[in-house]
Amino acid sequence: MDTKAFYKMSYGLYIISTRYDGKDYGCVVNTLIQITSNPAQMSVAINKENYTSKMIDKAGFFTATPLTVDATMDLIGNFGFKTSKDFDKFYGWGFKRDTNGIAYLTQCTNAVFSLKVNNIVDSGTHNIYIGEVLDAMPLEGSDSLTYDYYQRIKKGTTPPKASSYNAKSGTDSSSATAPTAQTTPQKVKYVCSVCGYEYEGDPLPADFICPVCGQPASVFEKVLY
């Protein structure tokens, strides 16, 4: 199976957040969709191992905000490659709270939806949360960020727990081709083993910190291409 076929699907990027026992939790998803208009309902699939998912199970409420094209990679990395269990993801970012007290970003977003969980569908590795929209409000922001733009223009990568993650991001072994003779000088880049961020150049500074997931230079792997 050629998993690159899944890249032809169209997605947006969203921050899903919730609050439980006095703490805020949030993550990046590309699986939020509207499913009905009357009543207004949305669904979102989140990996069961994601700590935000565990807290939505307990809280029963969540917010959803679409990210915009000016969302920075450190913002996306903050919500996409760190865990809310050990880290306050909203610290240092502009945010407000909805009527349920749940934090939502006010920068690099263009709308906010407040939802109550009406149903949870177990889909194996992920839970699908079906929520009724209790409130919605447009925010001042630029165009929504699509997953294609994130990957193609921002050169972003996909967390392993994401619904659209593909371990090899390519074809099955039956379609592999034999290596060809080296005809051009090889270049060097360093790839973050946590999030896939690529640093082009050699050497990688010893004090380098990944701008996406915040990991040190020691987790980077040297790659020739």
Q: What is the pLDDT of residues 10-22, one digit of tens each?
A: 889 999 999 999 9
The predicted-structure confidence for 58-104, as pLDDT tens digits, reads as follows 999 999 999 999 998 889 888 988 888 888 999 999 999 999 999 99
Q: Is residue 171 part of a domain?
A: no
pLDDT of 15 reads 97
Q: Are 25 and 19 in contact (CB under 8 A)?
A: yes
Last residue of a domain, one of 108, 137, 152: 152
- Secondary structure percentages of the chain, helix, strand, coil, to 5: 15, 40, 45
The verdict on residue 180 lying in a domain is no
204 occurs within a structural domain? yes
Angle among Cα 213, 221, 193 to the nearest 5 degrees reads 35
Q: Which of 108, 131, 152 is the last residue of a domain?
A: 152
Cis, peptide link before residue 179, omega less than 30° from 0: no
Query: Could you tell me if 47 and 181 are in contact, meaning their C-beta atoms sit under 8 angstroms apart?
Result: no
Looking at the structure, tell me whether residues 77 and 8 fall in a common domain: yes
- Write phi, then psi, for 4 (nearest 5 degrees): -65, -15
Contact between residue 48 and residue 125 where contact means Cβ atoms under 8 Å apart? yes
Domain count, the chain: 2
pTM: 0.78
- Of the candidates 46, 40, 41, the residue with the CA atom closest to the CA atom of residue 28: 46
Q: What is the rounded distance in angstroms from the CA atom of residue 136 to the CA atom of residue 133?
A: 7
- CATH number for the domain spanning 217: value is 2.20.28.10
If asked whether residues 143 and 195 sit together in one domain, one would say no
- The rounded mean pLDDT for the chain is 86
Of 134, 152, 170, which residue constitutes the final position of a domain?
A: 152
Helix (H) or strand (E) holding 221: strand 220-224
Q: 146 and 198 in one domain? A: no
pLDDT for the residue 213: 82
> Within a domain: residue 140?
yes
The token pair that represents 168 in the structure block: 């090899």
Domain shared by 14 and 66, yes or no: yes
Q: Is residue 179 part of a domain?
A: no
DSSP 70: T
Q: Cβ distance 23 to 109 under 8 Å?
A: no
Tell whether 203 is covered by a domain: yes
Clarify whether residues 191 and 145 are in a common domain: no
What domain range is 206 assigned to? 186-224
User: Same domain, yes or no, for 137 and 219?
Assistant: no
The two tokens of residue 2 are 């050629």
Residues 202 and 110 in one domain: no
What residue has token string 């690529």?
Answer: 198
Report the CATH number that the domain containing residue 138 is assigned in CATH: 2.30.110.10
Q: Beta partners for 97? A: 103
Three-state SS at 58: helix
Residue 166 lies in a domain: no
The predicted-structure confidence for 58-68, as pLDDT tens digits, reads as follows: 999 999 999 99
Q: Is the residue at 115 inside a domain?
A: yes
pLDDT in tens, 122-159: 999 999 999 999 999 999 999 999 988 887 777 776 66
Distance of CA 75 to the CA centre of its chain: 10
Do 74 and 21 lie in one domain? The reply is yes
User: 66 and 134: one domain?
Assistant: yes
Distance CA 78, CA 19 (A): 17
First to last CA, the chain: 25
Cβ neighbours for 202, distance < 8 A, ≥ 6 positions apart: 188, 190, 222
